[in-house]
Chains A and B, each alone.
Chain A
Amino acid sequence: MNWELIGDILLATVPLLVIFPSMFALTTWVERKALARIQNRIGPNKVGVPLTPYGGNLSLFGLGQPAADGIKMLFKENIVPTGADRLFHLLAPILSLIPAMLVLCFLPLEFPWLNGEQNSVKAFMLDGAVIFFFAITGLNTLAVFMAGWASRNKYSLLGGMRAIAQMVSYEIPLVLSAVVVVMIVGSLNAAEIAEAQAGWNWYVFQPWGLAAFVIFFIAALAETNRSPFDLPEAESEIIAGYFTEYSGFKFALFFLGEYIAMFAISGLAVTLFLGAGGGPGVEALPWLKVIWFLAKVCILIGVMIWLRGTLPRLRVDQLMGFAWKFLLPLSILNIFIAGFAWHAKKANEGTAVSVIVWVAALIILYAAAKGLDHVNRAKVKPRTYQYGE
């Protein structure tokens, strides 16, 4: 038995299992607080230090809320609907959590307590990490449909169907926008992608990178069923969609899986476009890389929460139309633009031409997006309403 290797693996993996679930707990609190403030409410502010009556004087802005929620979930009754498929009903939340947890390993988080050799990056970093990431997160669709099917509930099934349509559609622009970065770096290895962006060479500062980042972010929102793409769990339409019949600990697992998937996909967005762990003072203090990485992930999560408080839910046809008629053509065009821009920049390094190429690429992409928007919009006629007598 190679104890040293096991120790290294634990050192690389346990932090992931500590950091991200605790970030999940905090995020649920932050989200509730932020949404409340957006709606001019106060949000949870009573649950504080445990075991002091009614929050006592130590309510700490309701920071105890995640703990209270967790305990409540744990002690709830395990309810399985009559006629439901018990095995798959149990399996679905587990299957939604596992891939989300698994892909965290592929994020280029360089923990300071690991030397270069046993880095978590090196421990898990396959050369095809980006492909592997998409392959594994794709399993989430299966879990969602499994939940919808096994619940023996019409709402659940509708939610599951919607989820499949949505996730399959948005997977394509998601992958195609990531392809651009893979193409430019020439590697699928997340660590190499991170290294290629060292020193403020973040791809989001490139015109094609910006377009790809925006597409990636939108598709990521849809992929993780976040508002405004939360059709699979649309409360006002289909109760809670695929987890209508879930309560207690199984619901908590779903919830956890959803948030971990959000962190994972934000982490990938940071890796691909926002320079991974790059930031001020990284050369002098390498341990800042983890901090910067997590800070960027938190900012993306914050934007997701902000969008949730802002945008209303899309209609199903709008959702599909947006993926197939707007994001898909744009992301394909973006691949070509990126290729041309990269070659033009390489041929004319340091001259004014590279600046012109930069501006031209941005204008072409914006014009293409605007044109697509125009083409799609032309078909939308103002609605005519007929009222009953």
Chain B
Amino acid sequence: MSLLGGGIFKGMAVTLRNFVGSYFDKERLTTKEYAWRTDDKLPERAGDYPKEEAEQLSDTTTVTHYSRNFPMLLHDEGEPMDTVRCVACQICERECPPQCIYIEKSKDKMERGGNKAQFYPATFDIDVSVCMSCQICVEVCPFDAIVMNSQFELSTPDRFGGLLLRRDDLLKSNDYYHKIHPEEAAARDKRIADEKAAKEAKKKAAEEAKKKAAEAKAKAEAEAKAKEEAESAEKPAEAPAPTHTDAKKEDNGE
């Protein structure tokens, strides 16, 4: 026999414990308070505010490492446009469900990080008033060039132009990415390094295999020639040179 309505009192005890507990135990609070700016300056456009990357960081420290808002473009160490990872392949533009990305491919190619020369984005715009923060662009990018930013202070008095983030607003360093999403960035960097190592190992293995194959072929041919020569000693020898150049041609690059 339980007390009639006892469940209600039990529930009320739980809520009372939460009510009182949240005043004494800061760990209970699931949200952190946003640090308000001391000046009441309004931004001109979304990308302008706050201007410095350090300031943006101070905003993003108030959210968790798993928060995401709108995409940003990653660049490696160095001048942003010299080390931008995006090659303007436009996969994200095609995959974007609300079609908020607009990319224009460059006319010329640019070499980055010792890789083969590639295109780069001459224009890369994201309309954050359309973006739905789905992260599909991040999923589909084969170059790890676009990731989610957690910056949320994007209010602007201009609701059209101000909410259109330009390429230069979107460019963020990999260091910044490490600061706002440490675990994710570390995992991504590790994956990139692993992939690179695996590719290199594969390349090496393939080269060696080809070398071996070529050698074996050369050997076999030499043997065959020796045999032939043995059979008809008067016949002149043929050069087996083309095999080596064929092997090099097949060497694959991106």
Counting contact residues on chain B (CB < 8 A from A), the size range is: 20 to 34
- Contact A370 B4, CB 8 Å, known A37-B18, A311-B11: yes
**A379 is an interface residue with CB less than 8 A from chain B:** no
Are B33 and A310 in contact, with the CB atoms below 8 A? no
Interface centre among A40, A306, A366 (most CB of B within 10 A): A40
Are A42 and B11 in contact, with the CB atoms below 8 A? no
Report Cα–Cα, A306/B18, bound state, in Å: 11
Report Cα–Cα, A42/B18, bound state, in Å: 12
Nearest CB to that of B9 among chain A residues?
A: A310
Report Cα–Cα, A311/B12, bound state, in Å: 8
**B30 is an interface residue with CB less than 8 A from chain A:** yes
**A341 is an interface residue with CB less than 8 A from chain B:** no
A307's partner among B12, B22, B31, B40 (CB-CB below 8 A) is B12
Q: From residue 24 to 72 of chain A, which have CB atoms closer than 8 A to chain B? A: 34, 37-42, 45-46, 53-55
Are B19 and A38 in contact, with the CB atoms below 8 A? yes
**A309 is an interface residue with CB less than 8 A from chain B:** yes
Report Cα–Cα, A282/B51, bound state, in Å: 64
Q: A347-363 toward B: CB 8 Å interface, digit per residue (1/0)?
A: 00000000000000000
**A369 is an interface residue with CB less than 8 A from chain B:** yes
Report Cα–Cα, A41/B32, bound state, in Å: 9
Are A40 and B18 in contact, with the CB atoms below 8 A? yes
Instruction: Report A-chain residues with C-beta under 8 Å of the C-beta of B36.
Output: 46, 54-55
**A373 is an interface residue with CB less than 8 A from chain B:** yes
Instruction: Report A-chain residues with C-beta under 8 Å of the C-beta of B11.
Output: 310-311
B22's partner among A37, A46, A54 (CB-CB below 8 A) is A37
Counting contact residues on chain A (CB < 8 A from B), the size range is: 20 to 34
Instruction: Report B-chain residues with C-beta under 8 Å of the C-beta of A53.
Output: 40
B15's partner among A38, A54, A366 (CB-CB below 8 A) is A38
Are A39 and B18 in contact, with the CB atoms below 8 A? yes
- Contact A373 B23, CB 8 Å, known A40-B29, A306-B12, A310-B11: no
Are A310 and B14 in contact, with the CB atoms below 8 A? yes
Q: From residue 15 to 74 of chain B, which have CB atoms closer than 8 A to chain A? A: 15-16, 18-19, 21-23, 28-31, 33, 36-37, 40
Expressed in whole angstroms, the minimum distance between the Cβ of A64 and any Cβ of chain B is 15
- Contact A54 B40, CB 8 Å, known A37-B19, A307-B12, A309-B15: yes
Expressed in whole angstroms, the minimum distance between the Cβ of B86 and any Cβ of chain A is 37
Nearest CB to that of B21 among chain A residues?
A: A40
Are A42 and B19 in contact, with the CB atoms below 8 A? no
**B8 is an interface residue with CB less than 8 A from chain A:** yes
Instruction: Report B-chain residues with C-beta under 8 Å of the C-beta of A307.
Output: 8, 12
A41's partner among B23, B30, B37 (CB-CB below 8 A) is B30
Expressed in whole angstroms, the minimum distance between the Cβ of A217 and any Cβ of chain B is 12
- Contact A54 B37, CB 8 Å, known A38-B18, A41-B31, A42-B29: yes
Instruction: Report A-chain residues with C-beta under 8 Å of the C-beta of B28.
Output: 40
Instruction: Report B-chain residues with C-beta under 8 Å of the C-beta of A39.
Output: 18
Instruction: Report A-chain residues with C-beta under 8 Å of the C-beta of B14.
Output: 310
Interface centre among A37, A41, A370 (most CB of B within 10 A): A37
Instruction: Report B-chain residues with C-beta under 8 Å of the C-beta of A369.
Output: 4
Instruction: Report A-chain residues with C-beta under 8 Å of the C-beta of B22.
Output: 37, 40-41
Report Cα–Cα, A372/B37, bound state, in Å: 60
Are A373 and B29 in contact, with the CB atoms below 8 A? no
Expressed in whole angstroms, the minimum distance between the Cβ of B128 and any Cβ of chain A is 22
Nearest CB to that of A218 among chain B residues?
A: B5
A306's partner among B1, B15, B30, B31 (CB-CB below 8 A) is B15
Instruction: Report A-chain residues with C-beta under 8 Å of the C-beta of B8.
Output: 307, 310-311
Instruction: Report B-chain residues with C-beta under 8 Å of the C-beta of A54.
Output: 36-37, 40
Instruction: Report B-chain residues with C-beta under 8 Å of the C-beta of A310.
Output: 8, 11-12, 14-15
Identify 9 new A-B residue pairs, CB closer than 8 A, beyond the known A309-B19, A310-B15, A370-B4.
A37-B23, A38-B18, A42-B33, A54-B36, A306-B12, A310-B11, A310-B12, A310-B14, A366-B4
Q: Give A residues with C-beta under 8 Å from B.
A: 34, 37-42, 45-46, 53-55, 306-307, 309-311, 366, 369-370, 373
- 27 contacting pairs across A/B (C-beta < 8 A): A34-B19, A37-B22, A37-B23, A38-B15, A38-B18, A38-B19, A40-B18, A40-B29, A40-B30, A41-B30, A42-B31, A45-B33, A53-B40, A54-B36, A54-B40, A306-B15, A307-B8, A307-B12, A310-B8, A310-B11, A310-B14, A310-B15, A311-B8, A311-B11, A369-B4, A370-B1, A373-B4
Q: Give B residues with C-beta under 8 Å from A.
A: 1, 4, 8, 11-12, 14-16, 18-19, 21-23, 28-31, 33, 36-37, 40
